[in-house]
Structure 1
Amino acid sequence: MNSKNTVVLMVEDNEHVLELNRSVLTRKGYTVLAEKNLTATRLLLKEHPDIDIVVLDILLPDGNGLNFIPELRETTSAPVLMLTSRRDYEDMVQGLTGGADDYMTKPYRVEELLARIAALLHKRETAHMSSELIRGPLTLDMVAHRAFLHGKDILLKPREYAVLLYLIRSEGQYIMAKQLYETVWRQPELDDSGAVKTVVSRLRKKLEGSGYVITLGRGRGYCFERET
């Protein structure tokens, strides 16, 4: 994954470590969001749920980063790199079995931090290429046939999922309702069916807040595109 436009959330209460890491990551092209405690992190995630990777300290002023991971997973599926001065083997095991993707102890070289972040992002991108279709905060699981917005299942019905998948794969192109109906319903379109219109209407509501919309072009059909 290219670092440009990649968002890193750093949760670290050590001012020196925080500023050093922020400076290094920013120079490498990452967008860095930083907080010093869990309370502020919760508020930030409500405003900026589209995180690509989280670098999380364990010992924070208002809680333990290890215990925060399950809560974090309710908001984002981004990989989590634990960064801590604690060297207890039990902490490492708890972190990795509790949802963290990697674990680093202080002190460390910034080159190692950069390498670990790049490796986690690459691993995530590779895994998603075959099984997931991602558009911003919207993720389609093509194995389970489910769609998630900001990490939450938007509970699509089978035909809603099929229509959305078809439109996303044709992103930026207008697809006639007849073509959608014949592909998804697998039967010739009935002039009075209204089925496609009904499904698209439901999808529009479920896509609110995703940054993407399904537009209707008169005489051209439906188009999945980025919201302007």
Structure 2
Amino acid sequence: MSRVLVVDDDRQLLRALRITLSAAGHEVVTAPDGTTALREAASAHPDVIVLDLGLPDMDGTEVLAGLRPWFAGPVIVLSARVGSNDKIGALDAGADDYVTKPFDMAELLARLRAALRRRVSEGSDPVVVTEHFTVDLAARQVLADGVPVRLTPTEWALLAELVHNTGRLVSQRQLLQSVWGPAYERETNYLRVYLAQLRRKLEPDPSHPRYLHTEPGAGYRFTP
């Protein structure tokens, strides 16, 4: 059983989430505002946090700022804000995923399951196996049918960053800073070009990506 902290000031939604998540086998702790959320996160030790941005006492990004120095678990933002800047701001503040309201409860449960599956510890070098290729981060190698796939250093750096964050939505800014450096955080065309190259080399159907997904205006996600 996993423990989920749900933070939202909508009492009806909070109740619905408690019922649904409990029925799915989760232990649920709730908080109606940011102050309570930070207190419950420290005392309840949740495995994952579902966080609304529009809270009565502080913005959800402020809650993220208070959480991230010590909370290493996944945080899924649940918000009515649909703008790209809001999504990017939340991801850069430390969110792992972003779900917009209104939302499908089954989708949220799937996102929770994906977040909880991501158990790669800090400093580990995992091997990620898909149906069509294997990524070995320790060996810095990709194999398809046992044969090494030739990647450029930039292609490898981009893929490694996504694989290190398997299942998580990685913002455009984070990818650009990690692979090219802070001076390139606005060069989103770089991402389009190199993701297209990676898809041609790794995806069974590059025009319909199965592993390397784009979320327009927000970022990219690797799902094995």
TM tier, shorter chain? 0.5 to 0.7
Instruction: Give the structure with higher Rg (CA).
Output: 1
1:38 maps to what in 2? 34
**Is structure 2 residue 13 aligned with structure 1 residue 52?**
no
Unmatched segments (≥5 aa) in structure 1 = 133-142, 144-228
Q: Does 1:98 align with 2:93?
A: yes
User: Matched residues in 2 for 1:40 and 1:129: separation?
Assistant: 28
Out of 59, 62, 78, the position equivalent to 1:83 is 78
Aligned residues: 126
Matched residue, 2:4: 8
Q: Is 1:131 matched up with 2:124?
A: yes
Deviations 1:150-188 (A, max 9, x none): xxxxxxxxxxxxxxxxxxxxxxxxxxxxxxxxxxxxxxx
* Contiguous gaps of at least 5 residues in structure 2: 126-137, 139-224
* Structure 1 equivalent of residue 134 of structure 2: none
- Distance in 2 (alpha carbons) for counterparts of 1:82 and 1:90: 14
Deviation at 1:46, TM superposition (A): 3.1
Letter in 1 for 2:85: E
Deviation above 6 Å: which 4+ runs of structure 1? none
Tell me how far apart the structure 2 counterparts of residues 81 and 22 of structure 1 sit (CA, whole Å). Answer: 15
User: What amino acid is aligned across from residue 29 of structure 2 in structure 1?
Assistant: L
Say whether the 8 Å CA contact 2:76–2:97 is kept in structure 1: yes
| 1:17 and 2:9 are equivalent in the alignment | no
Conserved 8 A contact 2:38-2:66: no
**CA shift at 1:90, angstroms?**
0.4
* Identity score, percent: 34
Paired residues of 2:50 and 2:78 also in contact (CA < 8 A): yes
Alignment map for 1:192-203 (pairs within 5 Å) = none
* Residue 21 (structure 2) pairs with residue 28 (structure 1): no
Q: How far apart, in 1, do the equivalents of 2:9 and 2:15 lie? A: 10
Amino acid at match of 2:26: Y
Q: Name the CA distance, whole Å, in 1 between partners of 2:73 and 2:102.
A: 24
Q: CA, structure 1 residues 63+130, in 2 after alignment: closer, same or farther (shift >3 Å)?
A: closer
C-alpha change, 1:39 and 1:29, in structure 2 (3 Å) is: same
The TM-score with structure 1 as length reference comes to 0.52
Preserved contact between residue 82 and residue 102 of structure 1 (Cα < 8 Å) = yes
1:116 and 2:133 aligned? no
1:129 offset after TM fit, Å? 9.4
CA contact (8 A) 1:51 1:76 kept: no
SS in 1 for 2:6: strand
After superposition, what is the alpha-carbon deviation per residue over 1:69-90, rounded to whole angstroms, capped at 9, x for unaligned? 1211123101010001111110
Q: Which residue of 2 aligns with 1:63?
A: 58
Q: Output one character per residue of 1:5-52: Cα deviation in whole Å (capped at 9) or x when no partner.
A: 20101000001111111101000110001000011122223322x211
RMSD after superposition: 2.0
Q: Give, in whole Å, the separation in 1 of the partners of 2:109 and 2:67.
A: 22
Tell me the equivalent position of 1:195. Answer: none
Deviation (angstroms), 1:67:
2.3
- Say if 1:12 and 1:18, in contact at 8 Å, map to a contact too: yes
